[in-house]
Each structure stands twice: as C-alpha cells, then as structure tokens.
Chain A
Amino acid sequence: MDDEIARAQEQRRNVEDDALAAVSSVPFDADLYGGVSDPDRFAGYETSIAATAEDDDDDDDATEPVNPAARSLASYSGHAIASSSSGLPRAADEEGDGLRAREGEYHRRHPPAPATKRRNRWDQSQEDEGDGAAATGAKKAKTASSSSSSHWDAAPDAATPGIGRWDATPGRAGGATPSLKRNRWDETPTPGRMADADGTPAPSVAWDSSSTPTPKKQRSRWDETPAGVGSTAPRATDAVTPAGYAPGPTPFDAADLATPSPGQIARGPMTPEQYQLLRWERDIEGRNMPLTDEELDTMLPQVGYKILDPPASYQPIRTPARKLLATPTPLFTPLYAIPEENRGQQFDVPKELPGGLPQMKPEDYQYFGTLLNEGEEEEKLSPEEHKERKILKLLFKVKNGTPQQRKAALRQLTDKAQEFGAGPLFNKILPLLMQPTLEDQERHLLVKVIDRVIYKLDDLVRPFVHKILVVVEPLLIDEDYYARVEARQIISNLSKAAGLATMIATMRPDIDNTDEYVRNTTARAFSVVASGLGIPALLPFLKAVCQSKKSWQARHTGIKIVQQIAILMGCAVLPHLRSLVDIIEHGLSDENQKVRTITALSLAALAEAAAPYGIESFDTVLRPLWKGTKSHRGKVLAAFLKAVGFIIPLMDVEYASYYTRGVIPILIREFQSPDEEMKKIVLKVVKQCVSTEGVEADYIRNGILPEFFRHFWIRRMALDRRNYKQLVETTVEIANKVGVADIVGRIVEDLKDESEPYRRMVMETIEKVVVHLGASDIDRHQEELLIDGIVYTFQQQTSDDSNVILNGFETVANALGQRVKPYVPQICGIIKWMLNTSSAKARQRAADLMSRIAIVMKLCQEERLMCHLGHILYESLGEEYPDVLGSILGALKAIVNVVGMTKMTPPIKDLLPRLTPILKNRHEKVQENCIDLVGRVADRGAEFVPAREWMRICFELLEMLKAHKKGIRRATVNTFGYIAKAIGPEDVLATLLNNLKVQERQNRVCTTVAIAIVAETCSPFTVLPALMNEYRVPELNVRNGILKSLSFLFEYIGEMGKDYIYAVTPLLEDALMDRDLVHRQTAASAVKHMALGVAGLGCEDALVHLLNLVWPNIFETSPHVINAVMEAIDGMRVALGSAVILNYCLQGLFHPARKVREVYWKTYNSLYIGAQDALVAAYPALDIDGNNIYSRPELAMFGNLIQVRCRVLDLRTTTRTFSPLRMD
C-alpha cells in the first residue's frame, strides 16, 4: 500500500509539475477561448492586495465582467482560507495566480450566469434574500433549518439579510465581482494545507469518478488553481473521458487517471463521507488491479511468446462501467503461481501508533503523519521540533482520542500554552482547523482548544490575530449554526485578549476590500467584536469608517457593521441607539446607491432590534427616509420602505397613522412591481402599517383592499412558500382590522379555483381569520358560499401533504356551530361517498373529517345521521390500509364519545367483538386508536359486552404492552383497570400474573403496573391475597414482579396503605433478607412508597421493623440497589422522623473503618439535608474535650429532652423483638 501511495504521489507530482511547466494548457477549452497560451497575458495584474483599492469603480458597473465560478467559490471553504493563512510557499504559487486570473478571464466570457447554489448559501439566494428582507426573523429561523441557504441570517433573527441581491455591492448584483484583482486572501498559500491536499493517502488506482460524488462541500476560488493544474496534463495526453459520461458539473473528469489528479482532491475539500467512499473504493480497486508486467512474466512462459506494442489507435477503456463488460474473467487460472508471501504487508489496518496515541484515520495522515515515525528520529529532533511534535501529539489526542485522553490533552495544552508559545501553537492549530475533512465534533473540539489557548496567552496572541481571523471569519457565515456560534465565541475572546486596538488594526484593511465576501465577513467579525467589547468602545471607529471619503466600500462596510450589531445584539443596542443612528444617517443621502440601500436596511435592523422603544432616536432619519421613499425606485426604494415599515410600529398613534397614510400610496403603487423582492417587502410593510393603531378600518377597506386583492391574491403567489406565508400573514392582519366578512367575502369564491395550491392558501387564510375573529360576521349568503367552497375544496383535494383543508373545515364548522345544521346532510353524504371511493387517501380524509366534526354534529342534534355514519364506518372496519383503518377507528371513537354507549349504533355488543381482532394489528396508528376506543368502551359501557369477550380482549391487550409508543402502553394498562372493574379482578389478575413469567422486561414491567392499577381500581384487598400467594412461586421473575407491583400498588394507594402494611410486612421481610440483590432493591422501593404513604398514620412499629431490615443494605455498592436503599431510608425519615434515623446513623459516623464511616456520613448527609432543623433536638450530648465545651446548655432548659431521646431508643429495642408471622 505504502509503495502504491508513494507511486501515486510521485506520479501526481509529475503531473503537477508538467502542468506548472506548461501553464498555457488550461482546463477549459483552449481552442474556443484562444489566447490562453500566452502566459504573460495577465502579467499586468497585481499580485498583492491593495487594501485601499482605488480602482473599485468598476464594481459599480452592472454589466461588468462576470465571474460566476469565482463568485460561487467565494463561499467559504475551509482549507482555501487556510491557504491564505500561512507563509509556507507552494510550488504552484505564481503559476496559480496566473491560472486563476485566466480562469477569471474564461468565466468572464460567460453570460452573467445565475448564481450557483453555493453562493446562495451565505450570500442569500434570490428567494432567500427576498424573504430575509421581507420576513420576520422568527419565520426565517424556521425555514433556515430546512434549507441550506441563509442559515446565518436566519439564526440571529435577521429581519435584514446580510446581503440581499438588491442591497449588494455591484459585484454581487450581477452575481459576480470582478475579482481579477486578487486580494490578500488569495495570496498567501497554505501552510500545511496545500501539501496536504496531495498528501492524502490516495487511492492507488484509477478513481471511478462517476461514482465519486462531486464534492459536496463548498469550493472556493482558492481551490481553483490546483484543479486546473491537475487536470491539464492528463487531458493533453490521453483525454478520453467521454464528456457525456461524466455527470454535468464536473467538467474535468479524471476518471482515467491512475492517480487522482491533485485537482480532483484539491478542487473540493472532501467530506468525511467521501473519504469513507474512497476507502471502500480503494479496497475494491486493489483487488481488481490490472496485472503488472512482472506478474505476467511469472504466469506466462518466457519462450514462445512475444510482447507486442499496443496498436497506435488503441485506447484503453477507462470508464469502469464499460470495463466490467469489456474484460471477461477467465474461468480458470492458467499457470497459476502461488504469490509470494509478504508478511510486512498492511491490509488497510491502521498502523498501531506508539505512545498510546489514538487511531489514525487515513485523512489524518497528511497532517499527523509525522507522528507515525516517532520512535526512529526522536533523538535527532531539535528542541523546537520537539515542541512542535508535542503540540501535534496533543492536538491529535484532542481530535481523535477518547474522552479521557481528550480531556488530559486539552488540559495540558491549556496549562502549557505560555510555554509552547503562540507561534508554534497557532501554526499547528489553524491549518488543522481548516482541514476540509474535519468533522463537526472535531471542529468543535479544536475551537475549544483555540478558545482556551487564547485565554491563556492573553496579549501574547496579538501577532496572530490576523491569522486567526482569516481562519475563523469564514465560519461566521457557515451554514452550520454551531460553527457560527463557535466562530463568534472565538472572535469575542480574541478581541478581549488582544484588545480593541489590535483588532481594529488587523481588520482595518479588509473594510474596503474590493471583494464583497471579505467585507461581509469583516462586518460580521466587527459586530462580534462590538458585542464582546461593548458598543461604546467601537463607536468612534465606526463613525470614522462610516464617514470615510476614500471609498464607498468602507462606508458600506461601516454601515453594515451597524446592521450586524443590531442583528446580533438585539435590544442591547437600545442605550446606544441614538449614536448608532447618528453614525449612519448620512448614508441615506450618499452618492452611492449601495450605501443608501445598506443604510436603509441598517435602520430597519436597528428599528427591529429596538422595537417597541427608541422612536426618538430615529427622529433625524425620518425625513430623509420619507423623502427617499418618494424619490427612489427599485431596490433602493424597497430598502427604504422596509426601514419605514419597521420604524412605523415604534411611533405614537397619530404619527403612525400619518406616516401610514403617506406610505400607503407608494405601497399601492408598488403592488404591481414584478420584483419578487419588492413584493415581499411590500407585503411585510403593509402588515406593519395595517397593524398600527391609528389606521382606520374604512381607510383600509376602501384604500388598500381592492388593489391588494387584485395584485396579490393571484395563483402565482401560492406557488412560492415564502410568498404564500407572507401573504397569509398580511391578509390575516388586515382581517383583524376590517373584519371577517370583508376578507372572506373577497376570497370565498376562490375556494373553487382550479389551482389546488391557491385553494389551499385561501383555505388557510379563512381558517386563521375565523380562528381569530369567529364566524358571527359571516352572513347567510357568505355562509352558503363558504360551506359550498370548503366542501368543493375538500372533495377535490389531491395532494396529501398537509392538514390545511381538514383543519380549515373543522375550524369553520366549529365556528359556525348550529348554523352548519342545514349543510350536515350534504357533508355526511360526501363523507359516506368518500368512504366508498377507491382512493385510500380519500377514505382516510373522510374518516378524519368525521372525527373532527362529530362535536358540531352533536350540537346540531344530528345523532341519527351520526349513528348512520357509525354503521358505515363499522362496515369499513375491514379496511386494509392501516392509516385509513386508524382514521376509521378514530372516527368511531369520536362518534361513541359524542353519542354515548347506549344510543350508539352499531350497538357496543356488536362493535367490540369486531375490535378484538384489530387489536392484533401492529400498526401504531391502528393500535393507538383501537386501544383508545376499547378503553373508552371498557370505561363507560363495559356492561354491554359479555365477560368472556372482555377476557379475550385482556389476552390481546397483553401483546399491546410491547408497543413502542408510551401512549399505547399507558392506554393498555388503564384499560386493564377498566376491564377489571367491569368483570371483577380475579380473571384479569390471573392473566396478568401469568404474564409475569414472560421473558421481556418491558412486558413484565407493564404487567406489574397493570396489576397495581387493577389493585387500585378494585381495592387492594381483592388483589393482595392472590398477589402474595403468587410470591411463593419459586421463580425469580415472578417474585420480582410481585414486589414491583407491590411497590407500584403502595405508590398508587397512598394513605390507604395503612390498612395493608401489616399484611405485607412478612412478605417484605422475607424479600429484604433475600440473597438476590434485585429482590432487596425492589423490596426497598416498596418500603419507600409504603413509608411515604403511611407517614403520620401510626404505623411506626411496622416501619421500624422494616427499617431494621433495610438498614444493613446501606453497604451495597450496586448503584440501583444503593439508590433504592437510600430512598427507602429517606422515606423512613419522613414517616418515623429524623431523630430515629439519626440514632441509626450515630453508630457509624466515627467508626474506625473508613469504608463504614463513608457510608454512614452519606446517610447522615442526606438526613441532614432533608431535615436539618429537626435534628437540632436530637443531636447527642458530647463530652467536654480539653478547652472545648461541646454541650448545648440552652437545651438543658428543656428538662424533658433527655427523656425524648430515651423513648426513641426504647422504640428501637422493642422492635427488635417484633415477631412477624411467617408465610409458610
């Protein structure tokens, strides 16, 4: 294996070198896009970042060159950033730059492409950003978990998205930034990383690229270089990969390479799953490797054969799928030779590591490989190297070790942080953190390491602030919530350790970086610094940045920092609201459109964070905002509207209504905007405006509603989920103002629309409106239309994804109450008809509807109809689809509940026998509904069913105790109680006692609970004799079961236990002296419940006797046993008083044997915590010892105290002679 790896690496190195030598051959189609052969072509481009970019203006142009790949790659990729974080030179450096630039050139020829998915993740996809702009944070938070995009913005309740397409800097706006000019981020190559990418213990043979998924993780621009390099050379020589074969997005399919091209590795950092896949592949490939010449030589005779050159036209089949077909395996092995034995071979078994290090995963080799050859060169290491080795080892333990190893290593790293020094530590940790193969857990651990190390190093960390930031900043916009939180934590601690000045000095250059990505992360990082060090500390700096004359980017970033602070800190901005607003207010009249937009968005974020306070801080911006809404168009207008929308709710009533009236015409004008973004914002602002107090219903009714419904209540709105939700919310808000009738009147006809999603949206709106406002405003005519529409919608429903229609039906029917009566026959007709359709879904829906409207039907006195439906449902009990059957049972249950046992048709005596076989059904929904129904009948109408039938059901119920769902088990156990009550406990008990013999623990436990419940419902005396008799069965499970039932029994019956305590004492006495631990444990818990139940009821004699038997068990070590014993003693403390227990304790508190003391002190402590005050009277009188007088003379004032104690002791001696009745 090692040889192969070495060979593979060698080969790849060659390939790479070739590629580097011939920079001209680029991975894209050179013929088409000529000119690539000129390596000097991009010589003019800068190779270093100018932080103060003077040439940013090109950014402003919307039709600028587009570089979608670079854009998409700008999304974070761990190792890519790492590549910028260190000083290790990389071979591909200069050429890489050239290629990168070239790649940019290539992509620039593309028409502006739609943003890729990756880009969307952090940069807000189109739909996303719209939503972010328009939706509330809460809503976002919900969507965020499901979609890969915009996690960042979602979590901190971002009403303002980080970057919306529309607020974006020009580069973003077109989905691209002219990143010809590289920035600092691109520039520095990786420390460990670059070499690493190649150092992966690569699969030895050709990769099956078609089965290798395209790297799922983010790629970044920085990856691009090696990709190009890697795939060029092979392409030139033997590029046979059929283009059609490789799935689309992987243009350079290196399927035919014996070694994976470095590009393939480096392109996308591989996820751990991919490594898994590769591992497996390598295994398979290893077995199917082509024979080497040497092997052929040993197989074939030397003479008589001639080695031919392959014909010039021969192309080997590289695609694995065809390979399978191409080479038939010979059925026998001619001239087989036993292969040479190679003991040293490693079969994929990881090498045992020296020094108790944890196992090394293949992906760790590249980074921790040096640890493998530890022993050999230990002596030769310099002290520096030795230190590095030590750090590496500790990190490795943190990453892969067991919890103990990890803990120890972490502690060592922390303790020795100063000694190791910041340099060596961060040089090791940071590249590691950027490993693309890092799993979440490992990343978390490393973040923890950094955190603690930073804390320890304090200001020693300063020189590394930049490096750390470069690594950590991208995590701020990671899709994983925890990654973001951890990144924030690191940056916050870092700023505390390094100080504000260092942080500002370090991040200052990034503020006007041309790359939007850098500026975005920088803004977020600054907001974290602000939350760490306090907003006031940052204010002067922010002020300066926001007024920067040099570049609009700086102003943009500065204002964005304010926005991020608002999002991150929420209402904590309130004390500084005025200053923050002052700092950014001039941005509203900035000459740059982006700055104006972000300013408005920041104001919106501030207003949202401050709500409902702080309107006075916004005084200064109201005017410009107001003017802006009149003068701007398009995206800027959207941002301004958003700001106004968030500020209006903060205002006083009269101002709010004034502004609302002013803004409404603009909103109405923008109703017809085709821009999705604008639509969402408008909806949101309408909602905010309408909900303010000062707005009159009439004004809304006449001014807004007609246009609103004309433009928004269209089918297209129902198709996008976010639009849908926003529209429903806004409409409900409007309804709260104008009433049900108006809204329902406008949309009720749409219930018969032909688009189902639209119908669903209408239904959901009606439901929510009716829930809020009731149905009393709906007049006769509307009511008819409504029911008609709902029935139509219900019947026409085809999709099964939600309960919207059903819920709506239920809500409306319940709200209408008796007014539904005229329609009930029609509804029942439909249910009846649907129950007989062939579609299972329809049958299920019909049954569900029945169970939902049963109560309303009762209200309308339609019992006769319900009974009729009951018959039909009864006849459908043969249903084969379990989901449908469950619903039918649910409907029957609803009817039985409403109609009552006596009036029910079919009569209970017919219904129940039909249910018995259904109890056997293993489907959860069926089980649950069935047991509920049976339990209901057993509870209310047991007399309608013969006892024999109940017994049969009892047997079936035993099976139900195995159910996974707790609800089912609980219902079953309760049903046992009802049945026992109905037919007497004897038979049921016999069944249950027999069931104690089964093997499964869960089953037995449930049985004991059932026994206890039976005992409780039928009074203990009917059950106890049988129970105690059963205890004589010489079977461990049974006896334990009995004890457990006793424990439950005494728990349930509480005070009633005082009548039974003397009866069961002999049994418990026997159990407490049993050899079996579990026996004593269970008995102890029974004693506990008993003691707690009879506290204060005068059963002390029996309890003291039991305590004498429990007490010796305090020395048990098994956790469950000792726990039960301690609890029993605690119970005794409650029942007997703490003084008694103290007297037991005193014997051992100063026992010569430490083990004894420990146990006794533990008992004493729990006694002390339980009843500290009560112990005061019972403490022993201690003798005088030297100068110390221990007596408590005050107590001598109570003459009788001593006697009290004597009595207690007396009690103990008398109980020793308690002679219980033996059972046998």
Chain B
Amino acid sequence: MGSLRARKCAQPMDWAGRGSRPNPSAIMQASDRFNINSQLEHLQAKYVGTGHADLNRFEWAVNIQRDSYASYIGHYPMLAYFSIAENESIGRERYNFMQRQSYR
C-alpha cells in the first residue's frame, strides 16, 4: 500500500508551496554524514510520505489523508464495508477515494 503511494504518486507541487522539502543532507549534522544513519535517512527520503523536522501540520495531514485513501483502495474488504455503509457501489467508492487522492 505504502509502496503504491511511494512509487506512483509524485508529489504535486501546486498545493505544496509549503511542501518543498529541505535537502536531507542539509539538516544532517556533520558527524552523521558518514555513518549508517545517513544511509537510513537517505532511504527514508526516498519515500514520499516520510517527514522531516520542518514538515508542518498541513503537509503531514495531507500525507495522512492520502495514505488513508490509498489504504482503503488497496483493501477490498474495506471498500466493501464502506460501500455498504454509504450505499454506493464498490467501484464508485474506489473512484471517489481515488479522486480525493489527487486534489484535496
């Protein structure tokens, strides 16, 4: 699920004037530069949904929303559950969630 977001969804920049991410190496301390943690942070930086110290509430919330919808879409039983609760078809639910992914 996470991988779906991580790979497919490039972060759109229209809403993200605030979303510009500082270079992870810039916030890294000099002592960190050569050890395993730098690799760890590099790894983390590769995923869209990961955060950093300068992330604001809005950006984090957007990530949460998107992760949530991605998760709903990915788990068919969840979709089925929602469709029953909302009295919609499963396909409609999936479509709705997908739409909410892109601009919200």
Contacts and interface: CB of A to CB of B under 8 A. Distances in A.
Interface string B14-56: 0000000000000101011001110011011001011111010
B53 A1194 contact: no
Nearest to B81: A1197
Given A1119-B35, A1158-B27, A1165 B51 contact: yes
Interface string A1154-1177: 100110011011101100110110
A1190 B68 CA distance: 12
Contacts of A1122: 37
B13 interface: no
B81 to A, nearest CB: 7
Contacts, number: 85
B58 A1169 contact: no
Contacts of A1162: 37, 40-41, 44
A1168 B68 contact: no
Interface in B56-78: 57-58, 60-61, 64-65, 67-68, 71-72, 74
Contacts of A340: none
A1192 B65 contact: yes
A1190 to B, nearest CB: 5
Contacts of A1190: 61, 64-65
A263 B44 CA distance: 61
Interface string A1187-1205: 0101010110100000000
A1165 B57 CA distance: 16
A1123 interface: yes
Nearest to B50: A1165
Contacts of A1164: 50-51
A1197 B41 contact: no
B67 A1185 contact: no
A1168 B47 contact: yes
A1194 B86 CA distance: 9
Contacts of B37: 1119, 1122-1123, 1162
A1101 to B, nearest CB: 29
A1173 B47 CA distance: 14
A1150 interface: yes
A1167 to B, nearest CB: 10
A1169 B47 contact: yes
Contacts of B72: 1194
Central interface residue in B5, B50, B53, B71, by most chain A CB within 10 Å? B53
B61 A1182 contact: yes
A577 B43 CA distance: 45
Given A1166-B44, A1188-B61, A1192-B65, A1154 B53 contact: yes
B51 A1149 contact: yes
Nearest to A1183: B57
Contact of A1176 (B27, B36, B67): B67
Nearest to B52: A1161
A1176 B51 CA distance: 15
B31 A1117 contact: yes
Given A1149-B51, A1164-B51, A1182-B57, A1169 B85 contact: no
A881 interface: no
A1161 B49 CA distance: 12
Nearest to A1150: B57
A1176 B71 contact: yes
A1179 interface: yes
A400 to B, nearest CB: 23
Contact of B71 (A1149, A1150, A1166, A1173): A1173
Contacts of B36: 1119, 1123
A1126 interface: yes
Contacts of B9: none
B40 A1126 contact: yes
Given A1162-B41, A1166-B44, A1194-B72, A1175 B82 contact: no
Nearest to A1122: B37
Question: Which DSSP category, helix, strand, loop or mixed, fits chain B's interface?
Answer: helix
Given A1117-B31, A1188-B61, A1173 B1 contact: yes
B2 A1172 contact: yes
A1168 B2 contact: yes
A1157 B53 contact: yes
A532 B102 CA distance: 42
A257 B20 CA distance: 71
Contacts of B53: 1154, 1157-1158, 1161
Given A1119-B37, A1194-B82, A1168 B50 contact: yes
Contacts of B47: 1165, 1168-1169
A1088 to B, nearest CB: 15
B74 A1173 contact: yes
Contact of A1172 (B55, B61, B67, B85): B67
Contacts of A1166: 40, 44
Contacts of A1157: 53
A152 to B, nearest CB: 38
Given A1119-B35, A1188-B58, A1194-B82, A1165 B44 contact: yes
B67 to A, nearest CB: 6
B72 to A, nearest CB: 7
B32 to A, nearest CB: 8
A727 to B, nearest CB: 52
A1176 B65 CA distance: 9
Contacts of A1194: 68, 72, 82
Interface in A1105-1152: 1117, 1119, 1122-1123, 1126, 1149-1150
B12 to A, nearest CB: 16
A1139 to B, nearest CB: 14
A1168 B52 contact: no
Contacts of B71: 1173, 1176
Nearest to B28: A1158
Contacts of A1154: 53
A1178 to B, nearest CB: 10
A1161 B56 CA distance: 12
A1149 B60 CA distance: 10
Contact of A1168 (B27, B49, B58): B49
A870 B52 CA distance: 69
Contacts of A1123: 35-37
A1176 B44 contact: no
A975 B47 CA distance: 46
A1149 B61 CA distance: 13
Contacts of B57: 1150, 1182, 1185
B41 A1176 contact: no
Contacts of B40: 1126, 1162, 1166
Contact of B2 (A1126, A1169, A1179): A1169
Contacts of B1: 1172-1173
Nearest to A1154: B53
Contacts of A1172: 1-2, 5, 49, 67
A1195 B68 CA distance: 9
B67 A1175 contact: yes
Given A1182-B64, A1190-B64, 13 more contacts: A1117-B31, A1123-B37, A1161-B53, A1164-B51, A1166-B44, A1168-B49, A1172-B5, A1172-B49, A1173-B67, A1173-B74, A1176-B68, A1194-B72, A1197-B82
20 contacts: A1123-B35, A1150-B57, A1158-B52, A1162-B40, A1166-B40, A1168-B2, A1168-B47, A1168-B49, A1168-B51, A1172-B67, A1176-B68, A1179-B67, A1185-B57, A1188-B58, A1190-B61, A1192-B64, A1194-B68, A1194-B82, A1195-B68, A1197-B81
Interface of A: 1117, 1119, 1122-1123, 1126, 1149-1150, 1154, 1157-1158, 1161-1162, 1164-1166, 1168-1169, 1172-1173, 1175-1176, 1179, 1182, 1185, 1188, 1190, 1192, 1194-1195, 1197
Interface of B: 1-2, 5, 27, 29, 31-32, 35-37, 40-41, 43-44, 47, 49-53, 55, 57-58, 60-61, 64-65, 67-68, 71-72, 74, 81-82, 85
Which 3 pairs show the lowest CB-CB distances between chains A and B? A1172-B2, A1119-B35, A1165-B44
